[in-house]
Amino acid sequence: MMMRRTALRFGFREVATPIFEHTELFTLKSGPAIVEEIYAFQDKGGREIALRPELTAPVIRFFVNELTNFPRPLKLFYAGPCFRYERPQSGRYREFYQFGAELIGNKNPESDAEVIGLAASIMRAIGLDQYHIRVGHIGILRDRMSDHGVDDGSCAKILQKLDKKMYEEARSMMEEAGIPDHAIEEMFGITQVRGDVSVLEGMEGEDIDYLKGVFQVLEWYGMDDIEVDLGVVRGLDYYTGIVFEVEAPSLGAEKQVCGGGSYSLSELFGGEPTFSTGFAIGFDRVLMALDKEGVDNEPEGLDVFVVPVDDDLRSLAFQLTARLRESGLATDVDLMRRSIGKSFKYADSMGARFAVVVGQRELDQGSISVRDMRSGEQRLVSLDEVVGHLLEETRRVSSS
C-alpha cells in the first residue's frame, strides 16, 4: 500500500498484465536459455505459454499494443506475483511478488532521475533505514569496448563478469576479444569508481555528462544520499544507459532489493524504438530486510468499529456503518451479536482506533457514544455530527 501511494504521488498510474504470457515474450527479451529458468509449457491449444518471471516485458508489450498514441511521458507502475523455476533459498522463491515502475518518454537526465527518485522515496516510505542506492552508466564501459572492436555479444558476457567483480574471468575474455592490457586495467579502474558525484570530476565523455545531469536533478529533489558507482553495470543486453541498484546490507550476500535502469525493448515487440527507464523491487526481500531491522509491519487497523447494544438497533448500526464507509473511514460492524464487552475486545484485536456504541439511552438524547480505544475515553457525540467528528479525529490521530 505504501509503495502504491508513493508511486501515485509521483504521477505514476497503475497497470495490470496477465499472469500467463506467450513464452516468446520472454525469449525475445532474454534469449532462449531463459526457458530453463521459467515455468513454460504448451496449453491445450498447443500454444507456448509461460507464467511471467518478471513484469517489465509484459508492460512494454502492453505499451506497444495499446498505449503508443498516449501523451508522453507514460508513467506506469505495477505489482503482482511472478514465477521462476529455480531452487528455493533465502530471498529466492519460485513464486515471489514484484513491485515496479516504468517511465516511457524521452532520453534525458530528468527521466532517469525521476525513477531513481521514486525508488528512493519508496524505500523511505516503507521504513527501510539501512539501504544504499548506487547509480552508474553502462555506456561508459560499452563505449570503451566498442572502441576496441568488441562485438555486442562478447561485450554483454564481459559486463556480466564485471558486474559480479569476477575480474580474472573478465580479463581472459577481454584478452581473447583483443583488448590491450592498458585498456583492461583502465576499465577495471572504472568499475571501482564509487562515492559522491565529485568522483566524476576530471572524467570526460557524453555518458559522464549525462550521469552528472542525473545527479543534478536528484540534488534539486533534495536527494543527497545516492552515490555514484561505475561498477554497477547490470550485464543484461537490453540496458542502454543509466543503471542502478538498491541494497539492504542487513540481508548479507543476497542484499539487492531493487534494480533498474534505462533500456530499449519496444522494438522487440513490434514497436518503434522508444526510450524507457524503470526498476523492479523484490517485495519478499524488502520484507526480509524490514524484519532484520526490526521494523513493525503490522497491517493497518480499522478506523471505527460499530457496536449495536441490542437487536432493535442493528438497522441503525448498519446504516451508520454505510455512512462511515462512504466517508472513507475503514469501518466494521459487529456481525456476531456479541455483548458490548466482547465487542470492545474484538475491536481492540482488530486494531480499531474508535468504537461507536449505538444504544437507546444515548439515542433518546439525539447522541451516540464514541470510545477512544487507546485511552478508553468515551464521549457523547450528536448523531448528525458523528461522521464528521470521526473524520476529524482520525485525521488528527494520523498526523500526530
Query: Can you give the CATH number for the domain in which 390 is found?
Result: 3.40.50.800
Is residue 277 domain-shared with residue 318, that is, in the same domain? no
Is residue 54 domain-shared with residue 85, that is, in the same domain? yes
Residue 160 lies in a domain: no
Cβ 389 vs Cβ 379: under 8 Å: no
Is residue 35 domain-shared with residue 91, that is, in the same domain? yes
Q: What is the pLDDT of residues 22-34, one digit of tens each?
A: 999 888 877 788 8
Distances (CA, A) of 158 to 70, 173, 237, 300: 38, 7, 11, 47
Is residue 126 domain-shared with residue 259, that is, in the same domain? yes
The helix-helix angle for 109-125 and 206-220 (nearest 10°) equals 50
Q: What is the pTM of this model?
A: 0.84
Please tell me the distance from the alpha carbon of residue 36 to that of residue 27, in angstroms, as a whole number.
11
Q: What is the pLDDT of residues 132-186, one digit of tens each?
A: 999 999 999 999 999 999 988 888 889 888 888 899 999 999 999 999 999 999 9
Is residue 31 domain-shared with residue 105, that is, in the same domain? yes
Beta-bridge mates of residue 224: none
Is residue 267 domain-shared with residue 353, that is, in the same domain? no
Residue 58 lies in a domain: yes
Residue 369 lies in a domain: yes
Q: Which of 225, 260, 292 delimits the end of a domain?
A: 292
Please tell me the distance from the alpha carbon of residue 78 to that of residue 96, in angstroms, as a whole number.
14
- The single residue listed with the C-alpha cell 517485495 is 283
Angle at 382 between CA 391 and CA 384, to 5 degrees: 70
- Give me the domain span that covers residue 277: 2-131+248-292
Residue 363 lies in a domain: yes
Is residue 31 domain-shared with residue 63, that is, in the same domain? yes
Residue 187 lies in a domain: no
Is residue 363 domain-shared with residue 275, that is, in the same domain? no
Q: What is the pLDDT of residues 40-62, one digit of tens each?
A: 999 999 999 999 999 999 999 99
Is residue 364 domain-shared with residue 274, that is, in the same domain? no
User: Can you give the CATH number for the domain in which 76 is found?
Assistant: 3.30.930.10
Is residue 8 domain-shared with residue 113, that is, in the same domain? yes
Residue 155 lies in a domain: no
Residue 137 lies in a domain: no
Q: What is the pLDDT of residues 277-312, one digit of tens each?
A: 999 999 889 999 999 888 876 667 899 999 999 999
Is residue 281 domain-shared with residue 387, that is, in the same domain? no
Residue 125 lies in a domain: yes
Q: What is the pLDDT of residues 70-124, one digit of tens each?
A: 999 999 999 999 999 977 776 678 999 999 999 999 999 999 999 999 999 999 9
Structurally, how many domains does the chain consist of? Answer: 2
Is residue 63 domain-shared with residue 6, that is, in the same domain? yes
